[in-house]
Amino acid sequence: MKKIYLLLLGIIPTLSFSQTLTDGLMMPKKNICTGFMYSHDRWTDYWEGELKRDNGNIGHVTTQSLTWVGNYGITNKINVIAMVPYVKTKASQGTLHGMEGLQDLSLGVKYNFFQKKMENSAFNTFAVLNFSTPLSDYTPDFFPLALGTHTTNLMYRLTANYKFHDWYVNASGGYTWRSNTKLDRPAYFNGNEFVLSDEVKMPNVFDVFASIGYHIGPLQAELNYMQQNTLGGADIRRQDMPFVSNRMNYIKAGALLMYYLPKPRGLAVRASGAYTFGGRNVGQSTTLMTGLLYTLKFEKNQ
């Protein structure tokens, strides 16, 4: 018990904003931010290729997730960010059953490789390498209710951030390599050809993220833009279910608000929302997210 008590004494909360793979912030050295985020995503209309339509057989599709997040500052310029989501899907109509379970472990390293400070402004650039892999044996052959693609992914990202007084602008671009995935059947039609195999070649993905925001004291507010383009893949066939290797493109806009509470020191409330304005083989979804994050500073005991 004494050993545990001394360890707890060495954990002192500090005020620091939660960093992500796409923003221009860094967790200071020997600081950790951890907590849980809840997400609710729902859509009724979707794009079948470029044709926007609804589907009375499934009604509206809801995806909920509870994600553990953690970010640790190895140094002031190198952060390690991890995420583990538990996902649940459901359709309001029809005979398709939803799925639930652990999705993918994500582990990324973020490096602030250039920094230029001026009198009232600062410019920073960041490089990210992120690895993700499935944590459970969920099937990818059940879109739109599958938990994910069941692929191992490697993502490379570059981000530039400019801050002037309390305002900032941020731009980020990422390329994701995806491994092949496997189905629970010996053959399939991928939209272009019939394949006698259970293995599906997955197209890679390119995405961009841009934001403008205000950050002062315990408050951060932001407006953002997200776009994803799948580099290959076929469209959903007329009156057919989506397939795991379909081209899945989207354009989203959203907002974020984060605030550190006065007490207990180090506890923050984070909320965000996003809406899909355009897409291809994806649902026109509204996504809401909220959660609690706690920032700790580790110090050696005297």
Q: What is the mean pLDDT of the chain?
A: 91
Separation of alpha carbons 177 and 135, rounded Å: 18
Contacts (Cβ under 8 Å, ≥6 apart) of 263: none
Q: How confident is the model at residue 297 (pLDDT cuts 50, 70, 90)?
A: confident
In the prediction, which pLDDT does 10 show?
A: 34
In the prediction, which pLDDT does 95 show?
A: 86
pLDDT above 70 covers a percentage of the chain that reads: 93
In the prediction, which pLDDT does 13 show?
A: 35
Is a pLDDT exceeding 90 seen at residue 173? yes
In the prediction, which pLDDT does 3 show?
A: 36
Residues 120-166: tens digit of each pLDDT: 999 999 999 999 999 999 999 999 999 999 999 999 999 999 999 99
Separation of alpha carbons 22 and 155, rounded Å: 12
Whole-model pTM: value is: 0.90
* Count of beta carbons in the 10 Å neighbourhood of residue 142: 19
Separation of alpha carbons 3 and 105, rounded Å: 31
Residue pointed to by tokens 């310029």: 77
Bridge partners, residue 6, by sequence: none
Residues 216-249: tens digit of each pLDDT: 999 999 999 999 999 999 999 988 889 999 999 9
Q: Which residues of 35-56 are buried (b: 16+ CB within 10 A; e: fewer)?
A: bebebebbbeebbbbeeeeebe
Work out the average pLDDT over 245-258: 96
φ, ψ of residue 250 in degrees (nearest 5): -160, 160
Q: What is the dihedral of CA 149, 94, 57, 244, to 10 degrees?
A: 10
Is a pLDDT exceeding 60 seen at residue 84? yes
Q: Which CATH class is domain 2-297?
A: mainly beta
CB 75 within 8 A of CB 110: no
Is a pLDDT exceeding 60 seen at residue 179? yes
Residues 271-289: tens digit of each pLDDT: 999 999 999 999 999 999 9
193 SS3 class: coil
pLDDT above 90 covers a percentage of the chain that reads: 83
In the prediction, which pLDDT does 300 show?
A: 58
Separation of alpha carbons 160 and 128, rounded Å: 12
In the prediction, which pLDDT does 299 show?
A: 64
Cα–Cα separations (whole angstroms), residue 82 to 40, 182, 206: 20, 25, 21
Bridge partners, residue 292, by sequence: 36, 269
Distance of alpha carbon 149 from its chain centroid, rounded?
Answer: 14
Is a pLDDT exceeding 50 seen at residue 6? no
In the prediction, which pLDDT does 1 show?
A: 37
In the prediction, which pLDDT does 16 show?
A: 41
Is a pLDDT exceeding 80 seen at residue 8? no
In the prediction, which pLDDT does 18 show?
A: 52
Q: Locate the DSSP E strands across the chain.
A: 11-13, 31-43, 46-48, 51-53, 61-73, 78-91, 100-102, 104-117, 121-134, 153-164, 167-178, 181-182, 188-189, 194-195, 199-200, 204-216, 219-231, 249-260, 267-280, 286-298
Work out the average pLDDT over 190-218: 94
Q: Which residues of 115-140 are buried (b: 16+ CB within 10 A; e: fewer)?
A: eeeeeeeeebebebebebebbeebbb
Closest CA to 34 of 106, 83, 75, 76: 83
In the prediction, which pLDDT does 267 show?
A: 96
Residues 13-69: tens digit of each pLDDT: 334 445 789 999 999 999 999 999 999 999 999 999 999 999 888 999 999 999 999
